[in-house]
Amino acid sequence: MNEHVRRLIEVLGTDTTATQQQDWSGIESELQVRLPGDYKEFIERVGGGWVDGYLYILAPSSPNQHYDLANLSAEREEAYEDIFDVEDKPAQLEPAGSRIVPWATTDNGEWLFWRILPGQEPTEFAVLINEARGDRWEFHELGFAEYLTAVLQSEIQSDILSSAFPSSPHEFQKFTHTP
């Protein structure tokens, strides 16, 4: 098991007994990007869900349609194309061919993305966060599991995410149905 995924699962204290096999080649074909291995391993071992009553980890084929990775990826890509017509892109997205793909959102409306540069391997994707209803961005040169673990252990303090996040003890609720 990936060390960062193992730590994240340990920090969340969540159950990993129900594995969730995914059609990763189909999902990656739909998204037109290879997804990071730590994310895929976490989703297969744990699934998507709600962290500390605040952050929603998106998942492919989510039983909750509001947090389906493919649907939200297409929606966010279209929304940010429009946004970047009137707002400046963050410097981390200036290289031609750069992309963002969401992996989480929050109750407040912040979005957490992978920042993908042309030619990058999935292990090199970094985290880019956009504030809700604003143009502030925050960049972290870490992958999905390493970043989320560091935030949950208060090793990283975000200036964008809620100051009430993370909570203690941590709580993870898997997506089980569409409301």
**Other Cβ atoms closer than 10 A to 160:** 17
Q: Give Cα 118 to chain centroid, integer Å.
A: 19
Confidence of residue 178 (pLDDT cuts 50, 70, 90): low
Which of the pair, 15 or 13, is modelled with greater confidence? 13
**What's the pLDDT score for residue 152?**
97
**What's the pLDDT score for residue 75?**
92
Residue 162 and residue 54 in contact, taking contact as beta carbons nearer than 8 Å: yes
CA distances 158 to 6, 10, 29, 51, 165, Å, are: 23, 22, 32, 16, 9
Residues forming beta bridges with residue 57, ordered by sequence position: 49, 104
Q: Whole-model pTM?
A: 0.94
pLDDT of 102-160, one tens digit each? 999 999 999 999 999 999 999 999 999 999 988 999 999 999 999 999 999 999 999 99
**What's the pLDDT score for residue 65?**
79
